[in-house]
Structure 1
Amino acid sequence: MDGLDIELGASRIGKYQISKRLGEGATSEVFLCRDEFFQRDVALKRVRSAALLDAVDGPVYARFFAAEAALVGRLQHPNVVQIFDAVADPHAPYLVMEYVPGTTLKAFCRPDQLLPLELVVEIGFKCAMALGYVFREGLIHRDVKPANILAITNAQGLVTDVKITDFGSVLNLTADATVVHQVGSLAYMSPEQLDGENLDARTDIYSLGAVLYHLVAGRPPFEAASQAVLMNQIYNQAPAPLSGLRSGVNQAVDEVILKALAKDPKDRYANWDAFAQALSELISSHKVPRGQLQGVLDSERFNLLRSLDFFTSFGDVELWEVVHRAKWQRFPFGHALYRRGEEGRIFHIIA
């Protein structure tokens, strides 16, 4: 049949065993596959051949594929989806990525599915740290939106972690390739990105601010029936204060997110570290209710370790490894970790 990229009954794409179809769109389809060599499940995103043959948009889709393919094995961060392989099949090229079971943050943008405020701030901190890592690798994502942030959930449906995905629109600051301007999703695009100006990290800071706004309010910063009206709002209107859209929103939360959404990049956070620090301070200064998250949050653990001299030489990725692999426990004052003469097999960090 015309238009089908995977023949009926096909069980493999290249060397990857197909388990099931995960989703599909106008330009690509995604499969859960098995990498038998590494004995792991992977997500395989295959570009539809019809999309590449489109006379107008085909070259753009090909460039998006090439942008992601160039990142194979490059991004190694716990909150960024890894890209394992890219195959430039002449008819239907495909990417092989880390498989992340769960959903995307888009599922939690509905007014009846909103996440607790403290969890939104925690997600914001993790995304800011991840995108800061991406920027230090010389990359600007340019399409930060709820659908491009994967949410890992536990058995109770609570989001426990997130991962940035879909680098098809990425701007590689170190590459000589021709830049495709005005890519992204309009509701989350900064004014300077709409204008096709030279971009830096602050355009993604704006986009993450728009994502956090949507997660808090159940609606994006700006909404309109037409693109022209929406663009006018992005250029000229201030977003409505979050404190007026959801009960329990502290003014400090409003200030942090609205600063990220400033029209002029100079009025936003100067860099990702500053944005991440502002988000973490909302938690440490109790500007958001703790609600369901009564334990020590990952952001608190990360910042605690960062403050210790022992970890001065650790990079962010190594520090996140400690956060995730260590067993964290609270002990009352006077509790004996070891007794005299007792041999230990555990390395303790006391803070």
Structure 2
Amino acid sequence: MGCMCGKESLSIDDRRFFIRQRLGEGGFSYVDLVEDAVSHKTYALKRILCHSKEEEQIALQEVEVMRAVAHPNVIPLECHSFHKVGQYSKAVDITCEVFLVIPLYRRGTLQDRIDTLKLKKEKFTEDEIWKLMLGICKGIKALHDHNPPYAHRDIKPDNVMTHDDGTPVVMDLGSAAPARMEIHTARQATSLQDTAAERCSMLYRAPELFTVETNSSIDERTDIWSLGCVLYALAYLESPFESAYQRGDSLALATMAGKINFPDSSEYSSKINDIILWMLKSDPQERPFIDQVLDRLHSIIHEGENRV
């Protein structure tokens, strides 16, 4: 990292970037606005702080997933670099930093849009909901179609950005991992449960990740649960388990019970609630796969276009 003409700068993948401002912080990383020194195009720079070899592997896996999955509805990786502590970081408890340069989405996240609608006491139209879900599900399909399949494991409105034209882009692949796992021992079960508690948001986490059973299997349908929660959030502007969380109830028990409450009145067709219930099955074996979800979304959108 250096300073050029009064601007803080750093080199990533043989490209130089000027740091403009801090955009946000998370539990494992923070994001800066940066400018390419040659093209002057602006990007977001995600800095992942690693405190152990295990965290380094998780960060490198995020890079691997981003490089492996190229799709319009999945965030692309412009460039990246890996820096051992002492190169750019002065924090003694950090072993390394991984820098990811990604596109800058000025419209923000779906959660930003949800928050704005709440303030204005407005809602998405049903057509908007179906189009957003279609784009999100296409992005998740790209992960699930990889060989071997990846699961995102932390799908939520905060992890979906939107292009200027409204196209949704699934981001934050730090929780992504091989989708299919066989859990044979208590140690494996505890390890996955601990990882999920650390990296998968409670309000959108599948029940099988709250309590991982020995001699069980996990597959990509953990994401289908999260997508059902996202569809609920698009329609009703909060997670289906928000009220349970606010009351201090156990989210693990709430998700395993699978009881989904809907507002008494809704301006949407019954298809919204039907698909939410179809996806939010506590037993993952009863949930659809992503291709089945996409088929149903295409059918609904096609019906709507024919009515017009």
Query: What residue identity is the alignment partner of 1:166?
Result: D
- For residue 19 of structure 1, report the CA deviation from its aligned partner: 3.1
Is 1:278 aligned to residue 289 of structure 2? no
Identify the residue that residue 178 of structure 2 maps to in structure 1: 172
Kept after mapping to 1: 8 A contact 2:75/2:171: yes
Identify the residue that residue 103 of structure 1 maps to in structure 2: 108
Paired residue secondary structure (1:29): strand
Is 1:149 aligned to residue 160 of structure 2? yes
Describe the shift of the 1:94–1:131 C-alpha distance in structure 2 as closer, same or farther (beyond 3 A): same
Kept after mapping to 1: 8 A contact 2:180/2:220: no
TM-score by length of 1: 0.68
Paired residue secondary structure (2:282): coil
Paired residue secondary structure (1:42): strand
- For residue 214 of structure 1, report the CA deviation from its aligned partner: 0.9
**In 2: Cα distance, 1:59 partner to 1:196 partner:** 25
**Which of 231, 234, 238 is the equivalent residue of 2:255?**
234
Q: Which structure 2 residue ranges, 5 or more long, are not aligned?
A: 86-96, 182-190
**In 1: Cα distance, 2:39 partner to 2:141 partner:** 30
- For residue 32 of structure 1, report the CA deviation from its aligned partner: 2.1
TM-score by length of 2: 0.76
Describe the shift of the 1:173–1:279 C-alpha distance in structure 2 as closer, same or farther (beyond 3 A): closer
Is 1:45 aligned to residue 49 of structure 2? no
**Which of 167, 186, 190 is the equivalent residue of 2:206?**
190
The one-character-per-residue Cα deviations of 1:211-269 (angstroms, maximum 9, x if unpaired) are 1101101221113247662221111141113xx35522222221112111111112221
The one-character-per-residue Cα deviations of 1:173-227 (angstroms, maximum 9, x if unpaired) are 599xx96732300110111122236422211011011011011012211132476
Q: Which is helix-richer, 1 or 2? A: 2
Kept after mapping to 2: 8 A contact 1:217/1:245: no
The one-character-per-residue Cα deviations of 1:132-172 (angstroms, maximum 9, x if unpaired) are 11111121100001000002245xxxxx2110000001113
**In 2: Cα distance, 1:168 partner to 1:142 partner:** 9
Paired residue secondary structure (1:46): strand
- For residue 17 of structure 1, report the CA deviation from its aligned partner: 2.3
**In 2: Cα distance, 1:60 partner to 1:10 partner:** 34
Query: What residue identity is the alignment partner of 1:82?
Result: P
**In 2: Cα distance, 1:188 partner to 1:95 partner:** 25
Describe the shift of the 1:13–1:31 C-alpha distance in structure 2 as closer, same or farther (beyond 3 A): same
- For residue 129 of structure 1, report the CA deviation from its aligned partner: 1.4
Identify the residue that residue 222 of structure 1 maps to in structure 2: 241
- For residue 85 of structure 1, report the CA deviation from its aligned partner: 2.4
Identify the residue that residue 205 of structure 1 maps to in structure 2: 224
**In 1: Cα distance, 2:232 partner to 2:171 partner:** 20
Give me the CA root mean square deviation. 3.0
Q: Which structure 1 residue ranges, 5 or more long, are not aligned?
A: 155-159, 295-351
Kept after mapping to 2: 8 A contact 1:114/1:216: yes
Kept after mapping to 1: 8 A contact 2:231/2:276: yes
Kept after mapping to 1: 8 A contact 2:9/2:17: yes
Identify the residue that residue 31 of structure 1 maps to in structure 2: 32
- For residue 24 of structure 1, report the CA deviation from its aligned partner: 2.3
Is 1:71 aligned to residue 68 of structure 2? no
Describe the shift of the 1:83–1:227 C-alpha distance in structure 2 as closer, same or farther (beyond 3 A): farther
Describe the shift of the 1:82–1:227 C-alpha distance in structure 2 as closer, same or farther (beyond 3 A): farther
Q: Which is strand-richer, 1 or 2? A: 2
Kept after mapping to 2: 8 A contact 1:20/1:32: yes
Identify the residue that residue 144 of structure 2 maps to in structure 1: 135
Q: Which region of structure 1 is more displaced relative to structure 2, 22-31 or 254-263?
A: 22-31
Q: Report 1:1-16 matches (<5 A).
A: 11-14=8-11, 15-16=16-17
**In 1: Cα distance, 2:180 partner to 2:287 partner:** 24
Kept after mapping to 2: 8 A contact 1:108/1:114: no
How many percent identity over aligned positions?
Answer: 24
- For residue 285 of structure 1, report the CA deviation from its aligned partner: 2.5
Query: What residue identity is the alignment partner of 1:192?
Result: E
Kept after mapping to 2: 8 A contact 1:88/1:94: yes
Query: What residue identity is the alignment partner of 1:181?
Result: T
Paired residue secondary structure (1:88): strand
